[in-house]
Structure 1
Amino acid sequence: MPLKRGFVHVYTGNGKGKTSAALGLCLRALGRGLSCCFIQFLKGKPTGEIEAVKKLPNFHFIQTGRPDYDFCVTEVDKELALRGFQLAEEAIEKFDILVLDEINIVVHLGLIPLSRVIDLIDRKPPRVELILTGRHAKAEIIKRADYVTEFCLVKHPFYRGENAREGIDF
């Protein structure tokens, strides 16, 4: 059963857990018979989440980043981001839940114009739940959101030299 009314969520901030929160919302929605499309920008490396959601019906997970993304933005990253955003523009008409993972950082880096994201938010079908994640959410996006959650980093093992762990961090 589709949603009667969909809202806009923003998960931002420098803390860990934005992608995981969006995935949690998708799991809840799938459990109630809704369909989800999760478009992940910048990231292209295989993760545990991808392996898990491959097994779920009505869940489409798309990565639009380089597998070797190293935080150095290239022209290829811009092309991949634009291609991913075109997919988002199509998906917003087809799914109950649409997650644009890391879209805020993509806008911050100038890979996609803020105006295109604002346009997508403004023309979102009323029944679609839209989730935008990533650091550096722009004020214009926050203003249009119904839910805004800021994740705050307090402590992280990375800062004492620990590497990301498979199954926990990716």
Structure 2
Amino acid sequence: MVKEDYTTAHPWQKTPSDERKLGLIMVNTGPGKGKTTAALGLALRAIGHNQKVKIIQFMKGDRNFGELLLAQRFPELDITQYGLDRFVDPKNPEPAQIEKAAEGFAAARRAVLGGEYAVVILDEANVAMAFGLISTGEVVELLRSKPKHVEVILTGRDAPAEIIALADYVNEIRDVKHPYQAKIPARVGIEF
């Protein structure tokens, strides 16, 4: 067995003195559970490398999510919710829900274009687009104009084809087996 030499960086790794040079676009979509969780794992990795992370949550308006508690411990992590504390009727969203989503998109634009954050996560943006709360065309325009060093992750089922075409990576999450199927409810610290 060959012992890995961790004292020298692999070609794909940056040394601590390197500046972040290339930010890509990632989409976590599909019918399965874990799209936001995967994005949060990436956020933790970035924070571990002293990079600032902004998370815009389009569909969540409940302060009971573990990631919000985590943000209190890490000054590099900034999370803002732009959903209300109730579900959106995709055929008839409330005016207040449309207004909150517009505020969220304005915040997303500032976060992506401002250059302060190395990683910007647009949580449930795919759902917000599918429900007509935010414009797919405007999201595409934002992604095309992002600074080179900013990594953008969009989560949520039903990612639009235009977003998938623009992305550098697309992860389709599906459930092979999930506790919900066994009627096990969402657990604090695991699912939220």
TM-score by length of 2: 0.83
3-state secondary structure, aligned to 2:122: strand
Identity of aligned residues (%): 43
Cα shift at 1:155: 2.7
Q: d(CA) in 1 for partners of 2:98 and 2:181?
A: 29
CA contact (8 A) 2:88 2:94 kept: no
Is 1:81 the equivalent of 2:81?
no
Q: Bigger shift: 157-166 or 49-58?
A: 157-166
Pair 1:71–1:162, CA change in 2 (3 A): farther
Q: Is the 8 A contact 1:2 1:96 kept in 2?
A: no
SS at match of 1:137: coil
Distance between the aligned counterparts of 1:36 and 1:53, measured in 2?
Answer: 10
| d(CA) in 1 for partners of 2:88, 2:171 | 24
Shift of 1:2: 4.2
The structure with the larger Rg is 2
Asked if structure 1 preserves the Cα contact closer than 8 Å seen for 2:32 and 2:175, the reply is: yes
Tell me if 1:132 matches 2:154: yes
Indicate the SS of the match to 1:149.
strand
Q: Aligned partners of 2:175, 2:103: CA distance in 1, in Å?
A: 31
Name stretches of at least 5 consecutive residues in structure 2 with no aligned partner: 1-17
**Bigger RCO (CA 8 Å, 6+ sep):** 1
Normalised to the residue count of structure 1, the TM-score between the two structures is 0.94
Q: Is the 8 A contact 1:11 1:151 kept in 2?
A: yes
Give the CA deviation at 1:163.
2.6
Contact map agreement 1:3 1:127 (CA 8 A) in 2: yes
User: Deviation of residue 160 (structure 1)?
Assistant: 4.2
CA distance in 2, matches of 1:139, 1:161: 33
Cα deviation code 1:98-140 (max 9, x no counterpart)? 0000000100001111111001110010110010110000111
Aligned residues: 169
What CA distance in whole angstroms lies between the structure 2 residues aligned with 1:3 and 1:147? 18
Which residue does 1:50 correspond to in 2?
A: 68
Structure 1 residue 156 corresponds to structure 2 residue 173: no
Distance across 1 between alignment mates of 2:21 and 2:185: 43
Aligned to 2:8: none
